[in-house]
Chain A
Amino acid sequence: DAGITQSPRHKVTETGTPVTLRCHQTENHRYMYWYRQDPGHGLRLIHYSYGVKDTDKGEVSDGYSVSRSKTEDFLLTLESATSSQTSVYFCAISESRASGIGNEQFFGPGTRLTVL
């Protein structure tokens, strides 16, 4: 999985609790992404980062926030988890923005989050 780790790999939490997921990379890639995967929806972009402290929203960002204080770490926070946020979350990295020179994204192993 291309030098990308995600923690935790599995988490069960209750509605209303805060949750933070961590993505760590050893590739020194500039771009990092958080996706969620749900049946029938494929992967949907939550947030992405194009550098330390530089982040932006994706298509399903409501209820999520992110932070990137170091190149290697990208955190995804659910401030107050809801059942609709039960999903599998994937982190991805790329060397540059894909539209620049067509660089592919590399994905981490995923975190399965269940919100009861």
Chain B
Amino acid sequence: AQSVAQPEDQVNVAEGNPLTVKCTYSVSGNPYLFWYVQYPNRGLQFLLKYITGDNLVKGSYGFEAEFNKSQTSFHLKKPSALVSDSALYFCAVIDRGSTLGRLYFGRGTQLTVWP
């Protein structure tokens, strides 16, 4: 069964500090992995994805994520946080071998960056 865990409901960081939002996954085969961001009263926006190749994936707004197969993790990172990064972040996974192509989402992590 596919599943995604985001172990932290909330992450708080000071502006200018590095941030990490954690994600671990479980799939029966090899994964495609995604990060989405949701600002208040908006839909989800795609940030980045891991398909294959380099384990470090770069995405929008200076975010990057590192795929670690042995730890089944796909943590989202940014070297220097901005107040405007405050939002709800979702990790999602899909099993490459899935015939249905369904995305499984984590419960979300609320990131707050204070000035």
List the count of A-B residue pairs having beta carbons below 8 Å apart: 63
A90 to B, closest residue via Cβ: B43
CB atoms of B99 and A99 under 8 A apart: yes
CB atoms of A106 and B46 under 8 A apart: yes
* B37-60 near A? 1/0 per residue, CB < 8 Å: 000011111100101000000000
Majority secondary structure, B binding face? loop
Interface size of B by Cβ–Cβ distance < 8 Å? 26
Residues in A26-71 with C-beta less than 8 Å from chain B = 31, 40-45, 48, 56, 58
| 28 contacting pairs across A/B (C-beta < 8 A) | A1-B42, A1-B43, A41-B107, A42-B90, A42-B106, A43-B105, A45-B102, A56-B100, A92-B44, A97-B100, A97-B101, A98-B32, A98-B102, A98-B103, A99-B32, A99-B94, A99-B95, A99-B100, A101-B51, A102-B32, A102-B49, A102-B51, A104-B46, A105-B46, A105-B103, A107-B44, A108-B43, A110-B43
